Amino acid sequence: MLSIRNLSVFYGDAQALDNVSLDVPAGSITAIVGANGAGKTTLIRTIAGMLSAASGEISYKERIITGLPGHQVCDLGIGQVAEGRQVFPTLTVEENLAMGAMLPRARASRKRNLERVYTMFPRLSERRRQNAGTMSGGEQQMLAIGRCLMGEPELIMFDEPSLGLSPALVSDMLATIGSLSQSGLTCILVEQNVAQSLKLSAYAYVLENGRIVLSGSGAAVLGDDRVRQAYLGL
Amino acid sequence: MSLTLSASVIVQGVLTGLVYGLMALGLSVIFGIVRVVNFAHGEFAVLAMYIAYLLFFWLKLDPFLAALPIAALFFGVGYLLQRALINSFVARAEHDQFILMVGLAIVLVNGCLMIFGPEARHAELSYSLDSWLAGPLIIDAVRVYAAIGSLVVALMLLAFFRLTDTGTAIRACADNRLAAAIVGLDTRRLYALTFGLGLACVGAAGAMQTAIIDPNPSLAPGMTLLAFTVVIVGGLGSLIGALFAGILIGVAEALSSLVMAPSMKSLASFAVLVLVLVLRPQGLFGKGG
Amino acid sequence: MSRSGPHFGAARVDRRTLLLAGTTLSLATLAAPPATRAQAKSLRVASLLPRSGFLAPAGQSCHRGALAAQALLTDLGHAIEIVHIDTESNVETARTQAERAINEGAQALVGPFESGAALAIAQVCEQRKVPFIVNIAAAPQLTEQGYQFLVRNFQTGGQLVANGLKLIASLLDAQKLSYQSAVFLHANDTFGTAQRGAMDALFPKANLPFKLLDSIAYDPRAQDLSVEVTRLRSLSPDIVMVVTRAGDAVKLVRDMVRQRFEPKAIISPGSPGLYDEEFFQTLGPLSDFMIYNVPWVNPKSAMTSALEKAFAKANPSNRFAVDCLNAGFTFEAFLIAADAFKRAGTSNGPELMAAIRASNITEHVMTGGPITFDAKGQNPNIASVSVQNIKRTPTVVLPADIATTAPVMPMPGWQGRS
Ligand SMILES: Nc1ncnc2c1ncn2[C@@H]1O[C@H](COP(=O)(O)OP(=O)(O)OP(=O)(O)O)[C@@H](O)[C@H]1O
Ligand SMILES: [Mg+2]
């Protein structure tokens, strides 16, 4: 579904991604793991068109999308649940959700999608008139996911969705992502909870200092000694 | 000091203040969302005044009606300006933006000077000298029209931001720029719209001012300064704040010229500014400290 | 505001080139033996006026007088050559242009409508020993600082106010009116503030039959004067005494009309503003019945009619009746120079200056006695008269011997005028 070839990205002189190649097959979860500063967020933002690549190519559904502006990438069906949730704090829950549906692809079915989101997260429905900034971290994370779903994405990129959540909520969150994947959505999952997320994922890539150092099925990567040592402390 | 006198001065202050508010709204919208300080604000207002004057002179078009096409024209100018020029400066250092906007201001004011000369122009409307008696008060017709016009434009703008999706999207951009990019809002287009809206406010306010003040290039710096004062007093980025602070400063000016010497008028707005900066640095309606 | 006038872009380059050319030329002139200059057949006089910038309306009005002066003085058999120079309403420009004019051969200087520029030019003339005849400028210190090369054929601010107040009393007397109260409203610029000072000093001594309720300063560049007028209206004086400058007079009248404030008289004890063409054009019938007590052209003088003809010929689209204070004093300044040149027979600075100081010109245009100068270089004989706008035309209404019509007092209401 998404395929990346030899991607390099710089912040000024500092290289954040170095010749990264990876494939995300449709209908399953692909995990990307790596230490802090490895370049995971950079990868997601480059795919989303928010950062520009120095070299390399990104193609989505057989179409090259490198260099497209962010709003056009989103309109192709590539959604994002960003690191740190990134809600609009002074907008109400409902307004936040509406912003997710500003994409041309999602305008027509906005009403239906809103109902879907509210059914999926009844919490949001209860708080629809509340300002997003006044909600708890877990609620904000629900809102971020709901807002993303409002854009009718076919591919969702999750950047550390469980960051700062209680263990119980983390499980809920991962369960939600699992069920989204079950319903046919393609997912890229960047997670701190390496073990749990690799179990959920069909494929996985390990990113270190901007390079892919290991890849394979979720189970294979989870079984790799280096991964077990570095990320699981075993 | 008689009650009637104070009352009529306060009424005048409120009326003038509403126009100040609309003027400042234009600056506030642009700064609050695009984060670019429009140093050419007063110059745009003067340009609008001259256009209104010319439309009146050639076509006998009433400045209050001319406010509509001028606002539309300024919207277009603002939109294109932001797209073509300012967008590439949004991420640049503040002093680069400053130089760009000041350069624009110089071009505008000297353009007006070259075309119209330094003398003031008068647009003499059939009702420019009308006034109404309200009990013991006398109220100028043109000021009432300008105040109502300003209020209508301001409320329309507020409604646009509250009630429409595009308006909400613009607020979203101001709220969290990163999030706006993440959900796929076309921020460049929204900034251009915002700049256009900001200038449309200035255009409408300028056009309506033509009924009260005679256009003159030398008015520009004072108008920029006044708009800044109003925006800072009201709280950066707060639209209601700008409107409220406009009225506050209008009344403060009017009262100060009653209580102290009229020539102290402009000092009053600075006094309010200093007070607000000391007691509530974020402005009356500003967020956080 | 004064950072530019109609002169822009190309014009500025031209000026710079000219300045260069001027400097070269002046070096040549300086090098020439002084004898050739002294024996000149005609007198070269520079006219320094603010023809652009914020004083432009008045400067242009003076300039039209200078144009008429060239024609009329030549007709009268005077050998005079006037060079026109713009001071751009800027004191520094006035100084450098004076310097340049002398370098280029000007043997006397006339101008500059404004006291700041006059002080700057006076210093240059003092140094270069070239006579300087002030056409219009009211600051008292001009003739108090011992300048040897300066004379002023205009009233000082104090004289303007003193004479203006006396005339108000005469107006009330002549019309048998007993007005009780007045408010003094004045611009807060240099001139207006100086007039306020004079008013504060002179009013208590002037023994006028009415009370001064208040004095109000305003900013002549303010966008409107509504609050000032509201305050005025609440004081409700019979007479409003004003010191206006130009466009502010228009704003003042407009706000009075809007607030339906109709005093019995609006009188300027000596200031511009109420008789600019802009004032008449903008306000139409509302400009009528304003009174200003200023020196004016004497309608009964033969030379006035001659000047009026010359003025009409030189400026076909302007009204002499409106320009005549500015144009008249500007003309007289050139007359003083030409007359002295005739008597002295030389353009040598000190000799010409001596002749100027010895002037005794009985046949001239402005009201008052003969043009003479006291030890300080001040003409003490200038008289103020009362002039009133009647049918959009300034008309002398007092003193009776030169008045062309009687004053209209009290002022008719704003409504229903034609
Ligand atoms: N805006 C920026 N300017 C300069 N360098 C940056 C910027 N953003 C990130 N970097 C650097 O690029 C590298 C990759 O950062 P990135 O945020 O992609 O890492 P990450 O894998 O998402 O880390 P984390 O687990 O902390 O979120 C880091 O070294 C980081 O310091
Ligand atoms: Mg990250």
Closest-CA residue of B relative to C215 is B261
Encode pLDDT of C249-287 as tens digits.
998 999 999 989 999 999 999 998 899 888 998 899 999
Q: How large is the C-alpha radius of gyration of chain B?
A: 19
Locate the ligand 1 atom nearest the alpha carbon of residue A34 and give its number: 21
At residue C1, does pLDDT exceed 60?
no
Q: Which atom of ligand 1 is nearest to the CA of A11?
A: 4
Cα(A39) to ligand 2 centroid in Å equals 7
Please report the domains of chain C, with CATH numbers, ordered by start residue. Answer: 3-155+299-357 (3.40.50.2300), 158-294+385-398 (3.40.50.2300)
Name the neighbours of B, counting chains with at least 3 Cβ pairs within 8 A. A, C
Using CA positions, which residue lies closest to atom 17 of ligand 1? A41
The residue whose CA is least distant from atom 29 of ligand 1 is A37
For residue A212, is it within any domain?
yes
Same domain for A92 and A39:
no
What is the residue-averaged pLDDT of chain A?
Answer: 93
For the stretch C112-126, pLDDT in tens is 998 999 999 999 999
Mean pLDDT within B256-281: 82
Cα(A64) to centroid(ligand 2), Å: 25
pLDDT value at C21 more than 70: no
- Give the residue numbers in A contacting B (CB under 8 Å), as ranges: 48, 50, 69-71, 73-75, 80, 82, 86-91, 95, 98-100, 102-103, 147-148, 151
Note whether C50 contacts B: Cβ–Cβ < 8 A: no
Task: Give the model's confidence band at B149: pLDDT under 50 very low, under 70 low, under 90 confident, else very high.
Answer: very high
The confidence score (pLDDT) of residue A26 equals 93
Does residue C7 surpass a pLDDT of 70?
A: no
Angle at A9 between CA A6 and CA A11, to 5 degrees: 165
Interval C399-405 mean pLDDT: 90
User: Tokens representing C359?
Assistant: 């002037």
Bond prior to C399 in cis (omega within 30° of 0): yes
A8: which DSSP letter? E
CB contact under 8 A, A50 and B180: no
Confidence of residue B91 (pLDDT cuts 50, 70, 90): low
Ligand 1 atom 14, closest CA: A39
| Cα(C276)–Cα(C180) distance, integer angstroms | 30
Closest CB to C224: pick one of B4, B8, B212. Answer: B212
Q: How far is the CA of A41 from the centre of ligand 1 (A)?
A: 7
8 Å CB contact of B117 and C6: yes
Domain boundaries, chain B: 3-216
In this structure, what are the phi and psi dihedrals at residue A35, rounded to the nearest 5 degrees? Answer: -70, 175
Interval C233-248: pLDDT, tens = 989 999 999 999 877 8
CA dihedral B187, B189, A57, A159 (to 10 degrees): 20
Chain C residues whose CB is inside 8 A of the B9 CB are: 227, 230-231
C141 secondary structure, DSSP code? G
Contact C4 B212 (CB under 8 A): no
Q: B227-263: string of b/e by CB count within 10 Å (b at 16+)? A: bbbbbbbbbbbbbbbbbbbbbbbbbbbbbbbbeebbb
Shortest CA gap B77–chain C (Å): 26
Pocket of ligand 1 (CB under 6 A): A 11, 14, 16, 34, 36-42, 83
pLDDT tens-digit readout, C184-198 = 999 988 788 889 999
Q: How far is B131 from chain C (nearest CA, A)?
A: 5
CA distance C35 to chain B (A): 45
Q: What's the confidence (pLDDT) of residue B93?
A: 73
Domain interval for residue A147: 87-152
B165 in contact with C at a CB cutoff of 8 Å? no
Is B183 close to A100, i.e. CB distance below 8 A? yes
Distance CA C62, CA C177 (A): 36
**Residue C73: pLDDT band with limits 50, 70, 90:** very high
Q: Write down the pLDDT at residue C17.
A: 42
pLDDT for res B5? 83
pLDDT attached to residue B105: 80
Q: Which atom of ligand 1 lies nearest, measured to the CA of A192?
A: 25
Chain A partners (3+ C-beta pairs within 8 A): B
Given A123, A152, A181, the domain boundary residue is: A152
Helix B187-209 × helix B165-175 angle, to 10°:
110
- Per-residue pLDDT of C143-169, as tens digits, reads 999 999 999 999 999 999 999 999 999
Q: CA geometry: angle at A141 spanning A138 and A143, to 5°?
A: 115
Query: pLDDT band for position B126 (50/70/90)?
Result: confident
CB contact under 8 A, B175 and A103: no
**Residue C284, CB half-sphere, CA atoms under 13 Å: how many?**
10
The pLDDT of B224-247, averaged and rounded, is: 90
β pairing state of A78-81 and A155-159: parallel
Taking an 8 Å cut-off on Cβ atoms, the answer to whether B184 and A98 are in contact is no
Half-sphere exposure of A84 (CA within 13 A, CB side): 8
Are A39 and A62 in the same domain?
yes
B288 close contact with C: CB closer than 8 A: no
Over residues B153-171, the pLDDT tens digits come to 999 999 999 999 999 999 9
CB pairs under 8 A between B and C: 96
Q: What is the mean pLDDT of residues A77-82?
A: 95
The Å distance, Cα A34 to ligand 2 centre, comes to: 9
Whether residue B150 lies within 8 A of chain C, CB to CB, comes out as: no
Nearest CA to ligand 1 atom 3: A11
Same domain membership, residue A69 and residue A11: yes
Statement to judge: residues A107 and A48 lie in one domain: no
Nearest atom of ligand 1 to the alpha carbon of A35: 25
C316 and chain B in contact, CB less than 8 A: no
pLDDT over 50 at C9, yes or no = no
| β B131-134/C239-243 pair status | unpaired
User: Which residue among B175, B181, B182 sits closest to A89, beta carbon to beta carbon?
Assistant: B175
**pLDDT at residue B289 in the model:** 39
Environment of ion ligand 2 (residues, CB < 5 A): A 41, 83
- Does A211 map to a domain? yes
Burial class (CB in 10 A: 0-12, 13-18, 19+), C20: exposed
Other C-beta atoms lying within 10 Å of the C-beta of residue C394: 24
> Rounded CA gap, A212 and A215, in Å?
7
A82 lies in a domain?
no
To test the pocket of ligand 1, the residue of A9, A40, A80, A211 to mutate (highest count of ligand atoms within 8 Å of its CB) is: A40
Bigger pLDDT: C278 vs A5:
A5
**What's the DSSP call for residue C237?**
-
Which range, of A172-181, B279-288, C208-217, averages the lowest pLDDT? B279-288
A117 and A7, same domain (yes or no): no
Residue A163: which CATH number? 3.40.50.300
Residues of chain A neighbouring B182 (CB-CB closer than 8 A): 48, 50, 80, 82, 86
* A122 & A221 share domain: no
**Residues in chain A closer than 8 A to B179 (CB atoms):** 82, 86-88
Task: Find the helix or strand (DSSP H, E) in which A214 lies.
Answer: strand A211-217
CA distance A218 to chain B (A): 27
Nearest to C287 by CA among C257, C259, C325, C258: C257
DSSP state of C286: G
Per-residue pLDDT at A22 exceeds 90: yes
- Both A159 and A130 in one domain: the answer is no
* Ligand 2: centre distance to CA A11 (Å): 14
Decide if A151 and B178 are in contact by the 8 Å CB cutoff: no
Amino acid at A141: Q
State whether B214 and C247 contact (CB < 8 Å). yes
pLDDT of residue C22: 42
Closest residue to B262, CB basis, from C217, C247, C259: C217
pLDDT at B120: 64
- Write down the pLDDT at residue B32: 83
B208-213 mean pLDDT: 89
What pLDDT shows up at residue A133?
Answer: 93
Task: With CB atoms and an 8 Å threshold, state whether A151 touches B182.
Answer: no
For residue C8, is pLDDT > 80? no
Torsion sign, CA atoms C262, C277, C194, C299: negative
Distance C278 CA to ligand 2 centre (A): 70
Q: Is C190 exposed, middle or buried (0-12, 13-18, 19+ CB in 10 A)?
A: middle
Rounded to 10 degrees, what is the CA torsion of C354, C356, C358, C359? 170
Contact C221 B218 (CB under 8 A): yes
The pLDDT value recorded for residue C42 is: 92
pLDDT above 70: residue C19: no
Mean pLDDT over C316-344 rounds to: 96
Residue C36: its pLDDT value, please? 43
Averaged pLDDT of chain B: 87
Task: Note the pLDDT of residue B118.
Answer: 60
Cα distances (Å, whole numbers) of residue B148 to B16, B17, B73, B135, B160:
11, 11, 21, 20, 18
Element (H, E) at A116: helix A110-120
Cβ(B208)–Cβ(B141) below 8 Å? no
For residues A134 and A162, membership in a common domain is answered with: no
If asked whether residues A43 and A96 sit together in one domain, one would say: no
Rounded mean pLDDT of B200-209?
A: 94
**pLDDT digits 0-9 by tens, C347-369:** 999 999 999 999 999 999 999 99
Which of the two residues, B126 and A14, has the higher pLDDT score?
A14
* Spatial separation of the C-alpha atoms in residues B26 and B228, rounded to whole Å: 10
CA B83, CA C8: separation in Å to the nearest integer?
Answer: 31
Closest Cα in chain C, distance from residue B48 (Å): 16
Number of domains present in the structure of chain A: 2
Helix axes B63-81, B141-163, angle to 10 degrees: 40
Pick from C5, C234, C278: CB nearest B118: C5
pLDDT-based confidence at C34, cuts 50/70/90?
A: very low
User: Are chains C and A touching, using the cut-off of 8 Å on CB pairs and a minimum of 3 such pairs?
Assistant: no
Least confident stretch, A190-204, C66-80, C123-137: A190-204
More confident residue, C277 or A203: A203
CA of A48 to the centre of ligand 1 (A): 16
Tokens standing for residue C209: 């039959």
Q: From CA B247, how far away is CA B253, in angstroms rounded?
A: 10
3-class secondary structure, B239: helix
Which residue's CA is the nearest one to ligand 1's atom 26?
Answer: A36
Instruction: Give residues with Cβ within 8 angstroms of C288, minimum separation 6.
Output: C389, C390, C391, C392, C417
**B90-94, B281-285, C206-210: the lowest-pLDDT one:** B90-94
Mean pLDDT over residues C303-307, rounded?
96
Residues A129 and A171 in one domain: no
A201 within some domain:
yes
A175 vs A168: CA distance, rounded Å: 11
Q: State the burial class of residue C360 (Cβ atoms within 10 Å of its Cβ: 0-12, 13-18, 19+).
A: exposed
Angular region, C69: left φ>0, alpha ψ -120 to 50, beta rest? alpha
| d(C-alpha B57, C-alpha B5), whole Å | 36
Measured from the Cα of A207, ligand 1's closest atom is: 21
Mean pLDDT of the residues in chain C: 88
Q: What is the pLDDT of residues B41-51, one digit of tens each?
A: 999 999 999 99
> Is the model more confident about B4 or about C208?
C208
Q: Residue B162 and residue B169: Cα distance in Å, rounded?
A: 10
Q: Would you call B126 an interface residue with chain C, using a CB distance cutoff of 8 Å?
A: no
* Contact check, Cβ <8 Å, B114/C8: yes
